[in-house]
Amino acid sequence: MEEAITFKTYSSNIYGFSIDYPDKWLISENNSFFVVGFRESNEETFPSFNIQIIDLTMFGPNVNYSSFEEMIRSQILRVGAKAGAFTDEKVGDFNGRSIIFYIPENHMKSKQTYFFNKGNAYLISYTSKADDYFIKHLFVHDHAISSFALFESKGYKFLQLKSTLAQLTSDDRNPNQSLFMEYYTPKNWVEKKISKESIKYTDNENKGNSLLVHIKQVKKDDSEDSSTPLPSPSLEHADNKEEHISLVFQMDFTIICFTFSTPINELNSWRSCFNRIIEYFGLINKQNKKAKDNVPYDYFDNLIIGYSFRVPKSFQLTACKPNGEYVSFKDSDETKNPIPYCFRVLVEDLTDYPGQLKLYEYSNEVVSKLLEQPEAKLLTEEAGFIRLDKHLAQTSSMQSYDVEIQQPALRLIVTSVQKNHGIVLTVRTLFNQFDNIYKKSFYVFDTFNFYKLNKN
């Protein structure tokens, strides 16, 4: 006798949706193809369904249901599948559309259901072996899409953090030993001086989020002498409207306190921002401060996948895949001939790739695909090698006619394979911009850090 399937609700605060799934199915998050997937673990047929969130702006301003369905159909036909017609389908409270198709090569059958909302397409795909197996679990798909709901997302997917320096001590006899603290705050937050000792940073886009930085000098009798900052355990508390987390550092006769505040019951959703602020906090002397003054870099964090790097201050995030797989930047200094992006980071999950992919195989695959562009050719016969987060990375440079910007362009491509992830960093510019963009962005390669993977 078959065991009855019971459902649980999966919720994603960062993407702002919930959906029911069979409680014994396995969950996979932030795959290269979807933001979350669910699959049966005990059956040979492995029925599954997953959710993709697609940013419609990547297809231009005129995308609609008809053009989107044409793209889906062309992808289905490209894999040799046989597809039916699109039909109307409800997804929670939203009016959607669905299509069923069959792939003869592996005898698989799929049903894809999608709807549009606020510039995104939500695509729910159910797949199983064909025939009776497909019918057997189709009710899982039907139950899942009927339960689907959207709500206001909470939590940062990406952060660009700018540096602030504050003097803590002065040494008249040896000015270079004067001590400064360096800390980072989100670039778009608004700064306001509250008092001589306190500065408050406020997120105007996500109302209620703020950071209070308090620096207090104490008498010698009130402080233990210490040459390095000593953090206290983080303290969490709440009042009627807000939740707070505070971390206090003590050094010599200075107490430094960071207090991060969010609306009530939302601290866990936004906590990763505070964690990165504390991660980058440090002390430097005056000599190092002078060096820092001439380094025009921010920190950029991809909080979905878990990596960071130093990004030029003039670079602005211009496009990204909702699951964090790629992020693209444009240079705000290039106003004469702006291009959609001049720097891109792609990190894809290679877990399902058959066998262990070697660096040269992955690099050849990436470069070969780029060489399919019009008038494309490599500018170097042999690949170069650098280190990317202590791992070997391969470099290639090429030129091609860039279809998106309708003129020739140069690309520097850096590829690496780290713990079942493929990484591609691309500098892409017009011919007359390359030297300037490269000088700005080369430091990215030295500072790229995969901190989530490093902790696994």
Task: Give tens-digit pLDDT for 105-154.
Answer: 888 999 999 999 999 999 999 999 888 889 988 999 999 999 999 999 99
Where do the CATH 3.40.1000.10 domains begin and end in the chain? 7-150, 302-454
What SS3 class is residue 227?
Answer: coil
> Residue 1: its pLDDT value, please?
38
Q: Considering the domain 7-150 in this protein, what is its CATH number?
A: 3.40.1000.10
Q: What is the pLDDT of residues 386-416, one digit of tens each?
A: 999 889 999 999 999 988 888 999 999 999 9
Hey, how many other C-beta atoms are within 10 angstroms of the C-beta on 46?
15
Report the alpha-carbon distance of residue 66 to residue 63 in Å, rounded.
8
Q: What is the DSSP string of 108-154?
A: EEEEEEEEEETTEEEEEEEEEESTHHHHHTHHHHHHHHHH-EE----
Q: What is the pLDDT of residues 280-299, one digit of tens each?
A: 998 877 766 665 666 689 99
> Residue 219: its pLDDT value, please?
67
Contacts of 290 (CB under 8 A, 6+ apart): none
Whether the predicted pLDDT of 449 surpasses 50:
yes
Average pLDDT, stretch 328-335?
Answer: 88
Q: Which secondary-structure segment (H or E) carries 75?
A: helix 65-78
Decide which of 232 and 362 is more confident.
362
Q: What is the pLDDT of residues 364-390, one digit of tens each?
A: 999 999 999 999 999 987 889 999 988
Q: What is the pLDDT of residues 50-98, one digit of tens each?
A: 999 998 887 877 889 999 999 999 999 988 999 999 999 999 999 999 9
> Residue 314: its pLDDT value, please?
92
Contacts of 300 (CB under 8 A, 6+ apart): 158, 159, 160, 161, 308, 309, 310, 311, 317, 327
Tell me, rounded to whole angstroms, the distance of Cα 108 from its chain centroid.
Answer: 32
Q: What is the pLDDT of residues 156-210, one digit of tens each?
A: 999 999 999 888 876 666 666 678 889 999 999 999 999 989 999 999 999 899 9
Decide which of 354 and 271 is more confident.
271
Q: What are phi and psi of 303, to 5 degrees?
A: -80, -15
Amino acid at site 145: I
Q: Considering the domain 302-454 in this protein, what is its CATH number?
A: 3.40.1000.10
What SS3 class is residue 203?
Answer: coil
Q: What is the pLDDT of residues 208-265, one digit of tens each?
A: 999 999 998 876 555 454 555 555 667 898 988 999 999 998 877 788 999 999 999 9
Q: Considering the domain 158-293 in this protein, what is its CATH number?
A: 3.40.1000
Would you report the helix, strand and coil content of the chain in percent, each value rounded to 5?
20, 45, 35
> Considering only CA atoms, which of 182, 159, 443 is closest in space to residue 296?
443
> Residue 167: its pLDDT value, please?
83
> Residue 432: its pLDDT value, please?
87
> Residue 2: its pLDDT value, please?
53
Does the predicted model carry a pTM greater than 0.85? yes
Whether the predicted pLDDT of 456 surpasses 50:
no
* Structure token pair of residue 225: 């002498």
